[in-house]
């Protein structure tokens, strides 16, 4: 049976804030399918631009903001595939800053940290050792520290989501839900 990606696990969660957002978009006459594809494309693009800048020095529009963000940090990993017993995924950035190792996730125009963000970062931390986590809002590269006092509940949720995903795949393999 196929191991789920982090994205597939997080899609199993109810996200009530997205319902409000989708309603607002619809009322404004915005097709959320088109909007989601555009946002995904832009997100992928900025990830690629950052990676090419770090690896090859390729210039990009938001690089001044990125340079300010990264100036006092050591890059330990970028756009790395990871895998655990429960899922696979790809983290955005791993850095050393103020004697701590951080797992970093970029989010477009982030304004706060959600449960899904914490699950994602803790999950990546299962595969790659780190002390702490942060969300970085792009394109301005504003840092949102992610406070997690106890990782265990997040790990248990990820294990449960993996189990739900696997059981759902088994049911669907029978051709009926």
Residue 106 domain flag: yes
Residue 75 domain flag: yes
Q: Give the per-residue pLDDT at 160.
A: 95
Domain span at 84: 22-173
In this model, does residue 28 exceed pLDDT 80?
A: no
Count of structural domains, the chain: 1
In this model, does residue 40 exceed pLDDT 80?
A: no
The whole-model pTM stands at 0.81
- Confidence band, pLDDT 50/70/90 cuts, at residue 125: very high
Residues 101, 75, 78, 112, CA torsion sign: positive
Considering only CA atoms, which of 144, 47, 43, 154 is closest in space to residue 92? 47
Residue 95 domain flag: yes
CA–CA dist 77, 154 (Å, integer)? 23
Q: What is the mean pLDDT of residues 46-56?
A: 89
Residue 16 domain flag: no
Q: What is the pLDDT of residues 82-119, one digit of tens each?
A: 999 999 999 999 999 999 999 999 998 788 899 999 99
Residue 46 domain flag: yes
Residue 2 domain flag: no
Q: What is the pLDDT of residues 135-168, one digit of tens each?
A: 999 889 999 999 999 999 999 999 999 999 999 9
In this model, does residue 127 exceed pLDDT 60?
A: yes
The pLDDT > 70 percentage for the chain reads: 86
CATH number at residue 66: 3.40.1350
Residue 13 domain flag: no
Residue 53 domain flag: yes
Considering only CA atoms, which of 155, 139, 146, 160 is closest in space to residue 117? 146
């Amino acid at each position: 049976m196929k191991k789920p990606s982090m994205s597939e696990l997080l899609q199993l969660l109810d996200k009530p804030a997205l319902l409000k957002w989708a309603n607002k978009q619809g009322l404004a006459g915005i097709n959320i399918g088109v909007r989601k594809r555009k946002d995904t494309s832009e997100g992928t693009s900025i990830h690629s631009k950052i990676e090419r800048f770090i690896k090859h020095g390729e210039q990009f529009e938001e690089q001044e903001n990125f340079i300010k963000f990264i100036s006092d940090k050591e890059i330990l990993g970028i756009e790395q595939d990871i895998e655990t017993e429960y899922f696979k995924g790809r983290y955005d950035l791993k850095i050393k800053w103020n004697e701590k190792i951080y797992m970093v996730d970029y989010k477009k125009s982030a304004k706060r940290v959600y449960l899904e963000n914490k699950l994602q970062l803790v999950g990546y931390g299962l595969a790659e050792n780190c002390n702490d986590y942060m969300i970085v809002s792009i394109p301005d590269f504003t840092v949102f520290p992610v406070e997690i006092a106890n990782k265990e509940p997040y790990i248990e949720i990820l294990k449960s989501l993996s189990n739900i995903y696997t059981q759902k795949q088994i049911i669907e393999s029978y051709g009926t839900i």
